[in-house]
């Protein structure tokens, strides 16, 4: 997506202003992000949970303007809605069924075949397409759209002055609903909208008294500890996050997302990595040195 020169200058000005006013302690994050992203086309943004202030960013303009399918990063929002509405028992285990074909799309899970029966927390940690596609149909078309709308997936993040707006389609049938619930088709978001959604999750993590949320947050922690985002793991700090992989618009290759927050118990920062080419696990691996630097600096203060 091309951005007019004037709009580009406005973005640059916004970024320079935010970087000039950031606290000195975030400079190390910027240096580390610039280093790890030097060979990876995409975007990386870190924000402070409490204020929403951008602490460090790479390709902020792209993060605000690019619209892409979010992949499995939307699964926590779908499962949280089902759990809170009582349509899903957090301890109910479902069998992961392979092969999985939805319409004309092959959606086989990529987690180990030994992970054969999963509950809600496991489904997030291991990003089980089979589990989520089975339970997603307990929502109707308009309910799924409302889940994504409440998450802010078609609303500007307000982290910068000028942004694109995500798109959420009303599913036309059961297959479309399941693919949309998996973040594969029917929904497009900007990286900043995804980041803001995970920042709101982090705020909820710090204040939630809803028991149903526990499975979602445990799944996000386990995703990094033992699951599909384990390439982002850092010794000595619990973090929460979720990977996502989806095809680009021309479907020649996939792009990858990784979004989350840290520390897991009392979040201070939220982060988002978007790789124009790659998978969610690749985005998590790119994030690892930055999160390690954050944990190391935090532990020495």
Using alpha carbons, list the distances in angstroms from residue 54 to 62, 82, 91, 205, 276: 15, 32, 37, 20, 21
Per the structure block, which two tokens stand in for 255? 């792009």
How far apart CA 49 and CA 198 sit, in angstroms, is: 10
Closest residue by Cα to residue 3 from 73, 78, 79, 60: 60
For 94-120, the pLDDT digits (tens) are 999 999 999 999 999 999 999 999 999
**Secondary structure class of 55 (helix, strand, coil):** strand
**DSSP type of residue 110:** -
Closest residue by Cα to residue 128 from 110, 106, 114: 110
Q: Please give the sequence-ordered ranges of beta strands (E in DSSP) within the chain, or none if there are none.
A: 42-48, 54-58, 94-95, 101-102, 105-106, 117-118, 167-168, 187-188, 240-247, 254-262, 269-275
Closest residue by Cα to residue 74 from 226, 214, 177, 208: 177
Q: Which residues of 133-146 are buried (b: 16+ CB within 10 A; e: fewer)?
A: bbbbeebebeebbe
> Is the confidence at residue 19, as pLDDT, over 70?
no
Top pLDDT among 5 and 88 is at: 88
How far apart CA 114 and CA 45 sit, in angstroms, is: 35
Average pLDDT over residues 112-134: 97
State the chain's maximal CA–CA distance in angstroms: 54
For 236-268, the pLDDT digits (tens) are 999 999 999 999 876 678 999 999 999 999 999
Closest residue by Cα to residue 81 from 132, 37, 42, 13: 132
For 154-173, the pLDDT digits (tens) are 999 999 999 999 999 999 99
Please provide the CATH number assigned to the domain covering 5-300: 3.40.710.10
- This prediction has a pTM of 0.90
Per the CB < 8 A criterion, the answer to whether 49 and 261 are in contact is yes
């Amino acid at each position: 997506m091309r951005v007019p020169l004037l709009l580009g200058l406005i973005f640059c000005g916004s970024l320079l202003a935010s970087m000039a006013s950031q606290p000195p302690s975030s400079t190390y994050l910027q240096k580390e992000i610039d280093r790890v992203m030097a060979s990876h086309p995409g975007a990386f943004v870190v924000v402070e949970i409490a204020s929403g202030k951008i602490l460090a960013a790479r390709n902020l303009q792209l993060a605000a303007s690019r619209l892409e399918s979010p992949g499995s990063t939307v699964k926590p929002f779908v499962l949280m809605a089902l759990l809170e509405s009582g349509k899903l028992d957090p301890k109910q285990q479902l069998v992961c069924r392979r092969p999985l074909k939805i319409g004309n799309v092959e959606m086989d899970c990529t987690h180990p075949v030994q992970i054969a029966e999963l509950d809600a927390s496991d489904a997030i940690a291991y990003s089980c397409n089979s589990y989520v596609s089975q339970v997603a149909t307990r929502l109707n078309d308009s309910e799924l759209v409302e889940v994504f709308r409440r998450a802010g997936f078609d609303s500007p993040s307000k982290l910068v002055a000028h942004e694109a707006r995500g798109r959420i389609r009303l599913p036309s049938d059961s297959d479309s609903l399941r693919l949309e619930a998996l973040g594969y088709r029917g929904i497009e978001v900007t990286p900043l909208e995804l980041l803001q959604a995970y920042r709101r999750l982090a705020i909820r993590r710090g204040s939630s008294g809803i028991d149903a949320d526990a499975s979602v947050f445990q799944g996000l922690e386990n995703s990094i500890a033992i699951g599909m985002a384990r390439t982002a793991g850092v010794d000595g700090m619990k973090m929460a996050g979720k990977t996502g992989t989806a095809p680009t618009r021309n479907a020649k290759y996939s792009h990858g997302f990784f979004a989350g927050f840290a520390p897991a118990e009392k979040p201070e920062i939220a982060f988002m990595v978007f790789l124009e080419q790659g998978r969610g696990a690749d985005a998590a691996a790119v994030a690892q040195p930055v999160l390690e630097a954050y944990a190391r600096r935090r532990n020495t203060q």
